[in-house]
A and B are shown apart, each in its own frame.
Chain A
Amino acid sequence: MNWAKASLEKVEQTRTERMNQSAPVISDDEAQNLIREYHPDYVGNERKIHVGPNADSDPFPMELADLLESDSPIPKDFVPNIDIETDVLILGGGGAGVTAALGLADSGLTVHLATKLRLGDANTVMAEGGIQAALGKDDSPRRHFADSYVGGHGKNDTGLLRHLCEEGPAGIQWLTHLGTLFDQNDDGTFRFRKGGGTSTPRVLACRDYTGLEIMRVLKNAVTSGATHVLEHHAAVELTDDGKDRVTGAVLWNTQTGKLVTVSARAVILATGGSGQLRLQGYPTSNHLGATGDGLILAYRQGCSLVFPGSHQYHPSGSSYPEALVGQLVTESIRSAGAQILNVNGERFIDEMTFRDVVAAAIIREVVEGRGIETPTQRRGVWLDTPLIEQTKGKGTLAHQFPGLIHRFKRYGIDPVTQPILVYPTLHYQNGGVRIDAECRTERTGLWAAGEVTGGVHGTNRLMGNSLLDIIVFGRRVSESVPQNLPERGAVTLSRLSRYREELSGLPHTLEASAPQLYPRISGMKFELKEIPKPETGTETSPGTAQSFEPPDPFASR
């Protein structure tokens, strides 16, 4: 990283002095001003939409507004003929969906789980830092509530938040019974980390692979159960009974290109977030499928969205090398003592305050010219990882943050000796589909859990509250569905027809279709393959392999 030599020297020079320096704390008012001035939610890249339950009220990010005013990719002459009949259809194969499936295991109900990618290919598996639960000695669900409520700017749905905090310990117990391993102290007690905005250590972790640990356990548990898993099946529309009830879904098989209609007595929306919409051109820490599909589907059914304009930009997304741009650098690295520094090697914000404040502060440094520019014209600030080795002892990074080391070492960067460059990355959808305490949406037959929902986190989520969210509400939805299960209803697309009529009344027509399903940048999109098409664009240069058979990578060993 010779291009940043001068700045890195300053970081080295100031390190000893910074070791015992207290964090630059700012007042609540200053923090609010910082957010209003620099947080991407407040730059004004929003507009109102003119259809559906939130019409002409809340402002939506442009990208989401366009999708909500776009047509479905389903052909207008498509008539849903039931291909699969089930009791419960779960849409989404991440933490919330799989938790719900496991919760329904003993319900006696037939459960199908459809996921656009494979089971577990979701934001859950990418979560690094940890999961909150009030288990520490100076802690309580009330304290957890207070931290989350202040972090969420007092906008949180207090009923949902109380459930989140009160049911945290039981959620952890459920996970440990399934065999999840959380980091422990030498005496066998849980090791708690601090998260940004937690007033006491409350975050349980499995190194910097907490989401991976949880997701692989959930996935392993569900694959040996009775859930029918439909991988590579993207939900493209919900069906209704001709009135106000949700009765199933139309799925698109991404491999065969065909539409599949499912009739279900209950549909659980667990489709996750929308980081891949890449609002305002921000990079994202999210997986390939995070395109807000569930928001579109629920909205067309008449479900309103809470805080649709609120997104979390994680303060530390990787900014260099180019191949890792946007990828998450866990907050717990700051919890362990890594400081955030500008081009002059100076601290400028308390690294452990709330995420939106830290993100806004980083953006301010860069906007005011105190950032570092990469050879690919990206900007960022330093995260002084080597400091941890000095304050917490040699080997700390390798032991507690193996994921960080593994990823950066591929690109010749060793976080043990070399600070890494970070900049906010689009990380989490704070808002989403409105639910009640039983995870019911405003439509009978439709439940929702996890990142697709809105309210519990207010307008800013705390670290470790999303993994807890999917566990607590994944469990709650699995309890609510059997108790409130409607009879099977007709499977029609009457809601879609009505929505299409509303769309035709708009002054503008948008060309894109929604749900988007894949990031625009990927060039991947919805395509029906009912009619075989001639293959084009598969030119190969002479001498290259024409075979699709993978070679044995070990043939020559």
Chain B
Amino acid sequence: METKKVNITVAGKTIQAREGETIIHALWQSGLGHEIQTGCVGGVCGACTVTLRFADGRQGSTDLACLRPVEEGMEVFPFPVDALASPPPVSDPNEDQLRATFPTVDRCTKCDNCTIACPMGIPVMDSVLRMQKGQLEAVAEDFTTCIHCGLCRAVCEDKVLPHTMGIWVRRSLGMSVDHPVLDQASKAEMSDREELEWEHLLNCDDEERLKRAKNFRKEGTIVL
């Protein structure tokens, strides 16, 4: 089947691309892979942030070049966003601590640019408003899918640092959860039974071990 060709412009260079492919794949085909910083090529590392202009006059947008399909007349501009070191998380976080750590949280002027810029569909601005109210559990949920591409921060004229606060909230909450099962597992001394199981699995030749391992999987232990 013949694939339709389209023309796109990347950083001022016009290239031909096949309809349906991503901007990154089009760059590779044209030998211009270095034009846009690239990482995972799977939409989760946030390296290949770009801004876009469209031929049909639609409003421009930001996106990830590795997931964005090409279209006729599209103009692509590399828009790398540098990572930012962030303040360390705290145990049992609350609204006041968040405000003390990120005084800019109240600067938000509700322009919603952050939400529009987010390639993951996170309701960023709403989440910033939730941060102001101290609804931290909800904030953690909002930022579950955040890839820290930094676009929300880059387009924020009020320097509110949405995703930086997002991970601070998530890590702070994560650090504060007790997991008795982990304390138990890491403290326990090895019982005789457990030592016996290890010996059973280890002290034999490879062929015998494979047999023993197969049986062990069925019962989850040795049947004596």
Contacts and interface: CB of A to CB of B under 8 A. Distances in A.
Given A117-B47, A209-B144, A323-B69, A288 B170 contact: no
A176 B87 CA distance: 18
Contacts of A199: 217-218, 220
B145 to A, nearest CB: 5
Interface stretch (A448-456, A486-494, A537-545): A537-545
A279 interface: no
Contacts of A179: 89, 170-175
In this complex, the member of B59, B78, B217 whose beta carbon has the largest number of chain A beta carbons within 10 angstroms is B217
A123 B61 CA distance: 28
Interface in B47-97: 47, 50-53, 59-62, 67, 69, 75, 77-79, 83, 85-89
Interface string A410-434: 1100000000000000000000000
Interface residues of A, number: 95
Interface in B86-139: 86-89, 113, 116-117, 120-121
In this complex, the member of B182, B212, B218 whose beta carbon has the largest number of chain A beta carbons within 10 angstroms is B182
Interface in A106-152: 117-123, 125-126, 134-135, 138-140, 142-143, 145-147, 149-150
A552 B75 CA distance: 13
A546 interface: yes
A162 B144 CA distance: 32
Interface in B181-202: 181-183, 185-186, 194, 197-198, 201-202
Q: Is the interface of A mostly helix, strand, loop or mixed?
A: loop
A147 B217 contact: yes
Contacts of A219: 83, 148
Given A118-B83, A158-B209, A220 B167 contact: yes
B217 A150 contact: yes
A299 B51 CA distance: 42
In this complex, the member of B116, B207, B214 whose beta carbon has the largest number of chain A beta carbons within 10 angstroms is B214
B42 A173 contact: no
Contacts of A327: 42
Given A135-B185, A140-B194, A220-B86, A402 B42 contact: no
B140 A518 contact: no
Contact of B198 (A142, A213, A521): A142
A206 interface: yes
A216 interface: yes
A176 B216 contact: no
A229 to B, nearest CB: 9
Interface residues of B, number: 92
Interface string A185-197: 0001110000000
Contact of A548 (B12, B22, B88, B194): B12
Contact of A138 (B20, B34, B75, B220): B220
Contact of B20 (A143, A285, A321): A321
A403 B11 CA distance: 29
Given A407-B67, A545-B9, A554-B113, A173 B44 contact: no
Given A135-B182, A287-B45, A550-B79, A125 B174 contact: no
B145 A287 contact: no
Interface of B: 1, 3, 7, 9, 11-14, 20-22, 25, 28-34, 37-45, 47, 50-53, 59-62, 67, 69, 75, 77-79, 83, 85-89, 113, 116-117, 120-121, 140, 144-148, 155, 167, 170-175, 177, 179, 181-183, 185-186, 194, 197-198, 201-202, 206-207, 209-210, 212-214, 216-218, 220-221
Q: Which 10 A-B pairs have the closest CB atoms?
A: A179-B171, A121-B39, A169-B185, A179-B174, A550-B77, A154-B210, A146-B216, A146-B213, A524-B33, A199-B217
Given A178-B174, A181-B170, A212-B147, 10 more contacts: A125-B39, A135-B181, A146-B213, A170-B185, A223-B83, A224-B87, A287-B39, A406-B120, A551-B60, A554-B155
